[in-house]
């Protein structure tokens, strides 16, 4: 049919455009970081004494560790909380409370990250600082990130749980399963793919989050010895230094962008692998 | 179904048109620029460049047919390019050195940095050596410099910032020697960090700090080597942690170059200078 062909064409063009944008970004990152990728040995990013680009020291590893630690910490807190909230909305809350609660979570998802950052900078970090100075720390970063990805996990988990076929749940009740038994034995396994997808999206967001983390994490380039030590993430590094960087310094910042992108790519590959294993 | 197709078609169309118009814009800008009759090239310090960029934009708006090109690359590039006639005007974030007396310098603004602490901190003044000790980690508690017995939180700036550069120059240390607890980006973040932490010490542009104190932020500007930190003391040249931001030319300026330098020194741009937290230089 004419419209069918037209639609296929249009959709194809759209898909190509989206893929092209992704490829162009990768090309751009490679192009901008090319001078240092060829000029310097790659091992310098792993073994240099520190990150002082103006003094020719380019170790990116502490920032990679900072990025991973902050994201993993946030996931550890947000995943159980998010899934619990979603279960509460779908199975345990009274109808009107559930809808109010859901609105609230959606509102939380809509708050711009810089607002979280500002709150963290003026309230959370000083609070932690009273207890364990200096306050701006890995912990503050983790907490702010948790708040940001929590609604994302909740909403995706809610959608996945709400999409579990009614028959499955009715069968479970017919078999005399308790509510918790239904949740654990039927609903959660059935919604697993959707929940995992949500968690991976949230992880990607946590890895790339810039402003909020920049404002609360302290940004000192080091391997943290405790959660009260400040860290710098790769994304924060770019935002902090890009405006004033020149020459090699600028190129190395693009390398940290490339590294961040690589990290997200590994994450999405892992997600794909998980999916495949489930259906194999 | 048809409705959906029509919708997706129209939205695609809108997106496509936007993309095409955008690409068109990118194409036309350079050609339009080349048509300009008079062109001015400025190169040099990345500290001065953002300010001059703003000033240049206002200058272009006021005088038609003028196009001003501002490029960064450091003060030394400014000096080089002016000497080699590659640039009409150079920008340097310092005074002329003795071997550069062949050039002409015109001060546009002054850049001053103040050390800041929380208003509850009893310390009111520090000397150069004390500051160096604090920032390099030799002194880690406030008691050693006349304060309470609390651990000092050192707030440093991110690499590449001009305030960091000036601060390091003043202390005569390298950035790798500094042991920071928090690293910040812009002035506002530095001020928020220090007002939120009783034991923090940081440094920001003097204009920004003074503005926040006037608005009631719990912040104190520390006197330095016995000189009070204020915009006034930066302007009259007594405050030690400051430097002039200069435009330089190879010969006595005339024509468009002179016009632009006069404009950059005029009160018409004081709001732009203050917006970048620099201090306008005296008119004479």
**B interface toward A at CB cutoff 8 Å?**
2, 5, 8-9, 12, 46, 72-74, 150-151, 153, 158-162, 174-176, 180-185, 189, 192-193, 196-197, 199-200
3-state secondary structure of B1: coil
Which one of B73, B118, B159, B188 makes the best mutation probe of the A interface by having the most chain A beta carbons within 10 Å?
A: B159
Residue to mutate among B197, B199, B205, with most A CBs inside 10 A, is B197
Total structural domains within chain A: 1
* Dist. CA B35–CA A132, nearest whole Å: 61
Nearest residue of chain A to residue B175 (CA atoms): A52
> Phi first, then psi: what are they for B145, rounded to 5°?
-115, 25
Q: Under a CB-based contact definition with an 8 Å cutoff, are residues B199 and B153 in contact?
A: yes
- Determine the Cα–Cα distance for residues A22 and A223; give it in Å rounded to an integer: 32
Residues of chain A positioned with their CB less than 8 A from the CB of B201: none
Residue A103, SS3? helix
> Are the Cβ atoms of B197 and A133 closer than 8 angstroms?
yes
Cβ-based neighbours of B28, under 8 Å, separated by 6 or more: none
Rounded to whole angstroms, how far apart are CA atoms B214 and A185? 63
Q: Tell me whether residue A255 is in a domain.
A: yes
Which helix (H) or strand (E) segment is B28 a member of?
A: helix B2-34
A279 confidence band (pLDDT: 50, 70, 90)? low
Contacts of A230 (CB under 8 A, 6+ apart): A134, A136, A137, A138, A217, A218, A219, A220, A222, A224, B181, B182, B183
A27 Ramachandran zone, left/alpha/beta (phi>0; psi -120 to 50): alpha
Structure confidence at residue A271 (pLDDT): 80
pLDDT in tens, A160-206: 999 999 999 999 989 999 989 999 999 999 998 889 989 998 999 99
Domain that holds residue A249: 61-279
Write the DSSP symbol of residue B141.
Answer: B
Beta bridge partners of B157: B184
Specify the residue for token string 């002082």: A52
Distance from CA of A195 to the nearest CA of B (A): 29
Nearest residue in A to B19, CA atom: A17
Q: Band the pLDDT of A278: cuts 50, 70, 90.
A: low
Q: What is the mean pLDDT of residues A11-18?
A: 94
Closest CA in chain A for residue B176: A52
pLDDT in tens, B54-108: 999 999 998 888 999 998 877 888 888 899 899 999 999 888 888 888 999 999 9
**C-alpha B28: how far from chain center:** 32
In a domain, A24, yes or no: no
Q: Domain for residue A36, yes or no? A: no
**Option in B2, B153, B159 nearest A53 (CB):** B159
Q: Are B181 and A232 a contacting pair, CB within 8 Å?
A: no
Burial class of residue A170 (count of CB atoms within 10 Å of its CB; 0-12, 13-18, 19+): exposed
Interface test with B, best of A13, A60, A219 (most B CBs within 10 A): A219
Tell me which chain A residue has its CA closest to the CA of residue B197: A126
Give residue A132's pLDDT band: very low, low, confident or very high (50, 70, 90).
confident
Q: Is the residue at A180 inside a domain?
A: yes
Beta bridge partners of A51: A58
Cα B211 from chain centroid? 16
Domain presence at residue A184: yes
Contact B159 A54 (CB under 8 A): yes
Contacts of B192 in chain A (CB under 8 A): 121-122
The CA distance from B182 to the nearest CA of chain A, in Å, is 4
Q: Is the residue at A95 inside a domain?
A: yes
The pLDDT of residue B31 is 42
What is the pLDDT, as a whole number, of residue B122? 93
pLDDT at A55 over 90: no
**Residues of chain B where predicted confidence (pLDDT) is lower than 70:** 1-37, 282-284
Q: If you search the block for the tokens 């048509």, which residue do you land on? A: B35
Query: For the domain that residue A125 is a member of, what is the CATH number?
Result: 1.10.3720.10
According to the model, what pLDDT value does residue A249 have?
A: 87
What band does A280 get if pLDDT is binned at 50, 70 and 90? low
Residue A117, judged by CB atoms within 10 A of its CB (0-12, 13-18, 19+), counts as buried
Q: Which residues in chain B have Cβ-Cβ distances shorter than 8 Å to A214?
A: 185
Mean pLDDT of A62-88: 96
pLDDT at A81 over 50: yes
Please indicate, yes or no, if residue A42 is contained in any of the structural domains: no
Dihedral of CA atoms B81, B87, B89, B91 in degrees, nearest 10, equals -50
Cα gap B252→B234, rounded to integer Å: 27
What pTM, to 2 d.p., does this model score? 0.78
* Contact criterion met (CB below 8 Å) for A230 and A218: yes
Q: What is the pLDDT of residue B28?
A: 44
In a domain, A87, yes or no: yes
The nearest alpha carbon in chain A to B4 belongs to A7
Residue B8 has what pLDDT? 45
**Of A224, A82, A213, the residue nearest A160 (C-alpha):** A82
**Counting one residue from A and one from B, how many pairs have CB atoms under 8 Å apart?**
97
Distance CA B92, CA A189 (A): 66
DSSP state of A249: H
Report H helices in A163-246: 166-174, 179-182, 188-190, 192-208, 211-216, 234-241
> Is the pLDDT reported for residue A155 higher than 60?
yes
Contact B243, B166 (CB under 8 A): yes
- At B71 the three-state DSSP class reads strand
Average pLDDT of the segment spanning A83-109: 92
Task: Give percent above pLDDT 90 in chain A.
Answer: 70
- Chain A residues contacting B, CB < 8 Å? 3, 6-7, 10, 13-14, 50, 52-55, 57, 121-122, 125-126, 129, 133-136, 214-215, 218-221, 230, 232, 239-241, 243-246, 249
CA distance A203 to A256: 18
Residues from chain B that touch A245, judged by Cβ atoms under 8 A, are: 160
Within 13 A of A99's CA, how many CA atoms are on the CB side?
2
Tokens standing for residue B122: 């009893």
Of A133, A214, A232, the CB nearest to B151: A133
pLDDT computed for residue A131 by the predictor: 87
Q: Which residues of B203-239 are buried (b: 16+ CB within 10 A; e: fewer)?
A: bbbbbbbbbbbeeebebbbbbbeeeebbbebbbeeeb
Q: How far is B218 from chain A (nearest CA, A)?
A: 13
Strand, helix or coil at B89? strand
Position A140 pLDDT exceeds 80: yes
Choose from B2, B16, B181 for mutation: most chain A CBs within 10 A: B181
d(CA A176, CA A165): 18
Distance CA B49, CA B263 (A): 16
Q: Count Cβ neighbours within 10 Å for each residue of A67-93 and write b for 16 or more, e otherwise.
A: bebbbebbbebbbeebbebbbbbbeeb
Position B77 scores a pLDDT of 82
**How do residues A212-260 score in pLDDT, each as one tens digit?**
999 999 999 999 999 999 999 999 999 998 877 777 888 999 999 999 9
pLDDT attached to residue B283: 53
């Amino acid at each position: 049919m004419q419209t069918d062909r037209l639609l296929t064409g249009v959709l194809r063009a759209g898909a190509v455009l989206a893929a092209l944008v992704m490829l162009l970004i990768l090309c751009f990152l490679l192009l901008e970081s090319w001078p240092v990728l060829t000029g310097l040995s790659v091992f310098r990013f792993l073994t240099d004494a520190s990150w002082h680009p103006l003094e020719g020291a380019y170790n990116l590893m502490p920032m990679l560790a900072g990025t991973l630690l902050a994201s993993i910490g946030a996931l550890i807190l947000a995943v159980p909380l998010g899934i619990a909230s979603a279960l509460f909305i779908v199975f345990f809350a009274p109808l009107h409370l559930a809808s109010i609660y859901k609105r609230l979570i959606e509102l939380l998802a809509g708050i711009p990250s810089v607002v979280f950052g500002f709150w963290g900078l003026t309230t959370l970090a000083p609070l932690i600082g009273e207890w364990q100075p200096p306050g701006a720390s890995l912990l503050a970063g983790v907490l702010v990130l948790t708040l940001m990805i929590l609604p994302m996990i909740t909403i995706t988990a809610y959608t996945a749980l709400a999409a579990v076929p009614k028959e499955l749940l009715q069968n479970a009740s017919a078999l005399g399963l308790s509510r918790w038994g239904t949740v654990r034995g039927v609903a959660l396994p059935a919604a697993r793919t959707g929940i995992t997808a949500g968690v991976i999206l949230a992880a990607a967001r946590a890895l790339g989050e810039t402003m909020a983390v920049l404002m609360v994490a302290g940004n000192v380039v080091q391997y943290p010895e405790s959660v009260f030590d400040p860290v710098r993430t790769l994304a924060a590094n770019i935002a902090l230094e890009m405006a004033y960087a020149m020459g090699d310094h600028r190129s190395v910042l693009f390398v940290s962008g490339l590294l961040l992108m690589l990290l997200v790519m590994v994450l999405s590959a892992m997600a794909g692998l998980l999916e495949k294993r489930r259906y194999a | 179904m048809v409705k959906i197709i029509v919708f997706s078609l129209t939205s695609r169309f809108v997106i496509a048109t936007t993309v095409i118009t955008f690409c068109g814009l990118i194409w036309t800008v350079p050609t339009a620029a080349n048509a300009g009759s008079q062109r001015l090239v400025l190169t040099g310090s990345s500290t001065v460049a953002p300010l001059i960029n703003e000033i240049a934009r206002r200058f272009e708006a006021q005088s038609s047919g003028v196009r001003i090109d501002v490029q960064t690359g450091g003060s030394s590039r400014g000096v080089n390019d002016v000497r080699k006639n590659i640039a009409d005007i150079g920008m340097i974030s310092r005074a002329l050195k003795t071997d550069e007396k062949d050039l002409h310098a015109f001060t546009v603004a002054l850049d001053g940095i103040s050390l800041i602490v929380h208003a509850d901190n009893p310390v009111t003044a520090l000397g150069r050596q004390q500051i160096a000790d604090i920032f390099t980690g030799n002194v880690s508690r406030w008691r050693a410099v006349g304060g309470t017995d609390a651990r000092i939180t050192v707030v440093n700036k991110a690499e590449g910032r001009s305030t960091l550069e000036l601060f390091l120059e003043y202390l005569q240390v390298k950035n790798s020697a500094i042991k920071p607890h928090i690293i910040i980006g812009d002035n506002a973040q530095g001020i928020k960090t220090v007002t939120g932490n009783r034991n923090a010490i940081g440094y920001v542009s003097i204009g920004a700090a003074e503005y926040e104190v006037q608005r009631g932020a719990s912040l104190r500007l520390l006197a330095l080597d016995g000189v009070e930190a204020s915009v006034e003391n930066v302007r009259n040249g007594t405050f030690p942690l400051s430097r002039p931001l200069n435009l330089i030319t190879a010969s006595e300026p005339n024509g468009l170059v002179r016009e632009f330098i006069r404009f950059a020194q005029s009160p018409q741009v004081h709001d732009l200078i203050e917006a970048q937290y620099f201090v306008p230089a005296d008119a004479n």
